[in-house]
Chain A
Amino acid sequence: AQKVTQAQTEISVVEKEDVTLDCVYETRDTTYYLFWYKQPPSGELVFLIRRNSFDEQNEISGRYSWNFQKSTSSFNFTITASQVVDSAVYFCAPRDSGAGSYQLTFGKGTKLSVIP
């Protein structure tokens, strides 16, 4: 079973500022997967990243970067030079590694508002 905490309920930043969204998870698995999804006002969840627990390298994709710290069970997400289009609710979601177990456990989400 997984548990995830996104302590920041809402964040507001001014356009072009950097912002970090926190995610802390709990798991008894030694191998697991972590996901981030974005939900803009339209409602559709957009897949952002999938990370294996055994790959601790940080990842950068354009203005997005992820800092995975297995020792502290955190998988934080940073948006550099934020834009208005980044305004959305962001969900962190761990997943079990068990065969056939593809269920995600969603955090409560962090609502990001980027002010022009």
Chain B
Amino acid sequence: GAVVSQHPSWVICKSGTSVKIECRSLDFQATTMFWYRQFPKQSLMLMATSNEGSKATYEQGVEKDKFLINHASLTLSTLTVTSAHPEDSSFYICSASSGLGTGHTDTQYFGPGTRLTVL
């Protein structure tokens, strides 16, 4: 149980294009989903927290207009990198939690990540 998928697993795009990454909880309902960014050999940096049906909460320094997050259902959240540039190249990881706060249900389960390369 507690499987999270991400699609695509990797993507290469030209500078100026937009890229959409999907995060799905396959066997549980995710009230809360998180988006992280990870640079090589570094830790995870939280970008935003999204609750189903609500606007995402972005961390300080993360551009809302550049990283569009939609959490329209309890099993799907999307991250769209708009007008991508080479500095946006990174490993993007999502996680999902049922967010009930009891037992293990608030545990974040992570997707396999998406490697974005912007040329």
Contact = CB atoms under 8 A, between A and B. Distances in A.
Contacts of A42: 112
Interface of A: 33, 35, 37, 42-47, 50, 91, 95, 99-100, 102-104, 106-109
Interface string B22-50: 00000000001010000000111010010
What are the 3 closest A-B residue pairs judged by CB atoms, nearest first? Answer: A45-B110, A44-B112, A43-B113
B97 A102 contact: yes
Nearest to B45: A106
Interface in B95-111: 95, 97, 99, 101, 104, 106-111
B101 A35 contact: no
A108 B42 contact: yes
Interface string B82-105: 000000000101010101010010
Contacts of B109: 47
Given A100-B99, A103-B34, 7 more contacts: A33-B106, A43-B112, A95-B106, A103-B46, A104-B46, A104-B108, A106-B43
Contact of B99 (A44, A102, A104, A107): A102
12 contacts: A37-B110, A42-B112, A43-B91, A44-B113, A45-B95, A47-B2, A50-B104, A99-B101, A102-B108, A104-B108, A106-B44, A109-B43
